[in-house]
Structure 1
Amino acid sequence: MSQKNDSEKMLRGSWLLTVGAVSTQIMGMLYIIPFYSIMGGEENLALYGYAYTPYAIMLSFAIAGLPGAVSKFIAKYNALGMYKTSQKLYLSSFIVSFGLGIISFIILFFMAPILADIQTLYAGDAIWSTEDITRVIRVISFAIIIIPLFATWRGVFQGFESFGPTTASLVLEQLVRIIFLLAGTYIVIEVINGSIRTANEVAVFAAFIGGFAALFTLMFFWFKRKPHIDKMVASDDTGETLSYRVMYKEIISYSVPIILMGISISTLMLIDQLTHNNALEMANVPEKYHHEWFTILNLTTHKLVMIPTAFASAFGVSSIPFITKNYFLKQLDSVNVHIKTTLLSTLIFTIPAALGLLILSAPIYTAFYEYNEFGNLVLLVYAPVAILFALFTVTCSIMQGINKQWYTMVYIVIMFAVKLLINIPLIMQFYTVGAVLGTMISLAVGITLNLLTIKYFSKFKSRTLLRPLTEMVVYSIVMVLVVEVIYFLLNRHLDITGTMDAIIMLVATIPIAVVVYIVLIFKTGLADAVLGETAQKIRRKLRVL
């Protein structure tokens, strides 16, 4: 019964986080449409992209893996009934995370000129100078002061198996950030006739404003949940507690690999950022294409590709407390159930979403931005990488859950080495598409190593995944074939280069694709096999499945 209850709790938590993650991803995708229009195209957006990747990497160091480590620590000691130890940890973690935010802000602020210099090494007559990039990086660095604090707070809630506060704070943070970003850039460019650089500075400062929205949301939930947590602490009759030295030694053992996991995708993007334009220069690609193609790679297509991975982050984060608890209680059967549920629950949605993105890459890119033949091509190649991003994220979370995070750290370093080794040759050969291929190969290496380690230490029976995965692929292909027929017929009457025609194509194809796939997985019982009681609840509500 406990195993079943844990599975239901994990799925419920996963769905809560999925709602938050998917909502924020959709908002993050939709705001690009007016933002792109306000800013005036890929080249003007390049400055925004140049600032965001170094910021994302420094933010991962500032957070220091604390949310995941705190979540895992609290889940472990709560399972042992040591609630006072959990309380001692989370109270001190707030101070530590705020201190790390201050230190990381100072580092990024003063390193900004160096980072800008590296990115403009072969810039030639590029429109964005070292000074421009430096200013924008310094503006966004202010957000690092507060984000580690509320990120750690989310980890505390998750350690207590409470996922609603994370969902609410994610949505409000993104909503406030986008409103400030769009309103601010519109006022700068359209009302006061300011510069594109100033508009970019306002856009990145929105991260700081959104952070405050998240902080106040979590504070609200904290006062609501604190009486329940206090009761748990009062029930601790173990008579045991750990010293700060012992606690933080354990936290560091958890957090260092989490830091690497947190910066992994951003580092892959940074490798592209530091090599893309330089490799194009070596391949004698005209300077006028460098900024545009870089923005297509690291911003416009990346925003779209990351949408399916929202499922992975949700299921990965929610699985850690449950896998950790059962692993430390040496209940490997329960661990394997959670591993299987986590992998399949992620892929049942990520696979069709990625294939749909692939088949509809041209109208999607046109609808969200404008027709760009090269952008369509990059998105076409990039779309399947969404599955690899998802698998990498979720397998790293599972490795954290079974306490093999140090193996993950080694594997991530290997992955970076592979990317560094092959990126420039691939870009010189295939231009921007080469960078996508480099990411694809390096992720595949990391995922393979993670899966082999999970199988070895948890005694996981990978053959149990074969049938449901085969069904997912088959039903996704059926969905794609149906969409392809409709897309082919529409393409005879509509112009793919027109924004409205592209939107009509998406409105006509996406709902049909969703219905076809949902009907297939529910009528065949795949949804029940993967989602359990959650599938039954969906069936009862919809009444047609």
Structure 2
Amino acid sequence: MASDIEEKTTSDLADQGKADLIKGSAWMTAGSIFSRILGAIYIIPWNMWFGSVFTATLANSLFSKGYNIYSFFLIISTAGIPGAISKQIAHYNALNEYQAGNQLFRQGLKIMALMGIVTAAVMYFGASFIANIFAGGNKQAIPVLQALSFALLIIPTMSLVRGYFQGYSQMAPSAISQFIEQVARVIYMLVATYWIMKVQKGSYVSAVTQSTFAAFIGAIFGLGILVYFLVKQLPKLRKLSQNSKQEIDIDNKNFFLEIMHQALPFIILDSGIVLFQIFDQATFNSMMSSFQRLGKDTLDYMYALFGFNANKLIMIVVSLATAMAVTAVPLLSAAYSRHDRTEVKGHIGSTLQLFFLVMLPASLGMYAVAKPLYILFYRYDSLGIYILQFSAIVAIVLGLFTVLAAVLQGLYQNKVAIKCFVIGFIVKMIVQYPMILLFSMFGPLMATMVGMTVTCWFMLRHLRVRFKFNIQQTLYRVCLIFLISVLMLVIISVINLICYHWLANTNRIAALCLLIVEVIIGVGVYLYLILKTRLAEKIVGSRLARLRQKLRIS
């Protein structure tokens, strides 16, 4: 249950900054992780009901291509406004101008409703043209895109309400609605797929179409939960609005221009990972065909291995970064609005250290358990396992980009963030062809890693020069986290190697049991070492010191 929104003074906000970052990240991480895990677990029965491995992979490819295009339209339909609303409401709250923030929110609702209707109509009626351009002319993608268009009617408004709560550093409503949205979506898509494939003996295209329509069903439930929280907290919100300074002339202030000015960077940067994926989707078949003569089904199969199968799993760990990014923006915006450079520097260092504390073990852990994990979700495929391992490494830079972009946006360094992203994307486009030539199916992933690394390097350099945060402390702690994570990886890899000397690669039950054992051991090793070295409590705070004492780790 979300806690009520309470009025905070400027000094309270400054004192609670780090605690809010930890608490908010915990809520958003929990919501993102549970949602992503649920969104990955459904793959097991979903793939089984398609019959053959090849048919299941074709379904994955069609699903992925439709969803990548939908994700891009979703970013356009929300126009970066939820992030801008979160940022600006935190800004007004820091100035005790709650009434201005509420007026901004109401203006945003009108824009979101209109954008949802327009983009849904464009995607539905233009599905044939869009599929021809971005899905390689695949006619099967047309009904998938039309089914996805319905979700665009609701999700923009839902995202805006989430941004409103996040502006108050209230992450629980967003996390809970995100989870409920995913539960409703998964239930509908599994029931629909079972009915079509097992009862009606229908086509996989129909099953994928209904599976994507599930996004609309999930959005209805997600929005309903947010409305419940909003209605519950209306008395507190009204009280804050009535007691605000009201020095801003809201009648003559153009909130529309303010929203759009702040939203544009969110559009570009939020679409960063999706743009990289759409570029892969648009170029992979043609570039691979220039080296080898391969049929369409074979190319779709190869694309699905990294574009859907591996991507679906690594986005679980990337969602960790997204959760921290959402939390960091309003906190940094509030500190920047108060001109508190010490707090700004502290937030930058805390955000990066917290990111690596969670992201490095998650990514390297996924690398270590890639074999049983892949077998459990998709059945055994040696190439698919290698791609998942490499994708787990790429996930680190994808997550870092997400966090750094959010930090820069929270500090009103929008132009710098966009410039850094554009440079990295250009590098990605330049190296894509030679990377596919050299590394075949691994080429797009390699190009993504190179492009994102360039972007992250420029972003970090700007933060260091402009805000002079304690990079020495951050580097020292990140190196220690890396060493502990590598030790965990080695231990799990040895266990994996020994066990698969006796276990069959086709046994999914054995893969599940081994995965559970390896995760428990990996988490135990990592947790023990970060508590033993006092690293966790230095980053997270004294609460973990109590945990260390309870576990009798000296």
Q: What is the TM-score when the length of structure 1 is the normalising length? A: 0.95
One-letter amino acid matched to 2:119: S
Return the offset for 1:142: 1.1
One-letter amino acid matched to 2:522: A
Match of 1:125 in 2: none
Contact 1:402–1:458 (Cα < 8 Å) also in 2: no
Give the Cα–Cα distance (whole angstroms) in 2 for the partners of residues 273 and 39 of structure 1: 23
Return the offset for 1:359: 2.2
- The correspondence for 1:109, drawn from 116, 124, 128, is 124
Matches within 5 A, 1:344-383: 344-383=353-392
Match of 1:71 in 2: 86
One-letter amino acid matched to 1:227: P
One-letter amino acid matched to 1:268: F
Return the offset for 1:543: 6.8
Distance 1:34 1:540, change over 3 A: farther
Match of 1:173 in 2: 181
Match of 2:99 in 1: 84
Matches within 5 A, 1:117-136: 117-119=132-134, 121=136, 130-136=138-144
Contact 2:425–2:452 (Cα < 8 Å) also in 1: no
Match of 2:202 in 1: 194
Give the Cα–Cα distance (whole angstroms) in 2 for the partners of residues 154 and 49 of structure 1: 26
Answering whether residue 315 of structure 2 is matched by residue 300 of structure 1, we say: no
Contact 1:22–1:311 (Cα < 8 Å) also in 2: yes
In structure 2, list runs of 5 or more residues that go unmatched. Answer: 1-10
Distance 1:239 1:214, change over 3 A: same
Match of 1:47 in 2: 62
Give the Cα–Cα distance (whole angstroms) in 1 for the partners of residues 354 and 383 of structure 2: 33
One-letter amino acid matched to 1:183: V
Matches within 5 A, 1:319-398: 319-398=328-407
Return the offset for 1:450: 1.2
Return the offset for 1:538: 4.6
Contact 1:113–1:130 (Cα < 8 Å) also in 2: no
Give the Cα–Cα distance (whole angstroms) in 2 for the partners of residues 539 and 11 of structure 1: 18
Match of 1:57 in 2: 72
Answering whether residue 479 of structure 2 is matched by residue 470 of structure 1, we say: yes
Give the Cα–Cα distance (whole angstroms) in 2 for the partners of residues 397 and 245 of structure 1: 26
Distance 1:303 1:541, change over 3 A: farther
Give the Cα–Cα distance (whole angstroms) in 2 for the partners of residues 237 and 530 of structure 1: 36
Contact 1:39–1:45 (Cα < 8 Å) also in 2: no
Match of 1:26 in 2: 37
Return the offset for 1:97: 0.6
Give the Cα–Cα distance (whole angstroms) in 2 for the partners of residues 465 and 119 of structure 1: 41
Matches within 5 A, 1:157-168: 157-168=165-176
Contact 2:144–2:208 (Cα < 8 Å) also in 1: yes
Give the Cα–Cα distance (whole angstroms) in 1 for the partners of residues 549 and 232 of structure 2: 32
Give the 3-state SS of the residue equivalent to 1:431 in structure 2: helix
| Residues 191-200 or 283-292, more deviating | 283-292
Task: Write the deviation string for residues 169-228 of structure 1: whole angstroms up to 9, x where unpaired.
Answer: 000001100000111111111112222111111000000000000110001000111111
Give the Cα–Cα distance (whole angstroms) in 1 for the partners of residues 36 and 368 of structure 2: 20
Q: What is the TM-score when the length of structure 2 is the normalising length? A: 0.94
In structure 1, list runs of 5 or more residues that go unmatched. Answer: 122-128
Return the offset for 1:411: 2.0
Give the Cα–Cα distance (whole angstroms) in 1 for the partners of residues 126 and 416 of structure 2: 30
Match of 1:217 in 2: 225
Distance 1:31 1:120, change over 3 A: closer
Distance 1:396 1:243, change over 3 A: farther
Return the offset for 1:539: 4.5
Alignment RMSD, CA only? 1.7
Answering whether residue 459 of structure 2 is matched by residue 450 of structure 1, we say: yes
Match of 1:12 in 2: 23
Give the Cα–Cα distance (whole angstroms) in 1 for the partners of residues 460 and 545 of structure 2: 30
What percent identity do the matched residue pairs reach?
Answer: 29
Give the Cα–Cα distance (whole angstroms) in 1 for the partners of residues 439 and 92 of structure 2: 51
Give the Cα–Cα distance (whole angstroms) in 1 for the partners of residues 218 and 273 of structure 2: 22
Return the offset for 1:244: 6.7
Distance 1:257 1:237, change over 3 A: closer
Aligned residues, how many?
538
Give the 3-state SS of the residue equivalent to 1:308 in structure 2: helix
Task: Write the deviation string for residues 337-396 of structure 1: whole angstroms up to 9, x where unpaired.
Answer: 111111111111110111111122222111111101211121121111111111000000
Return the offset for 1:150: 0.6
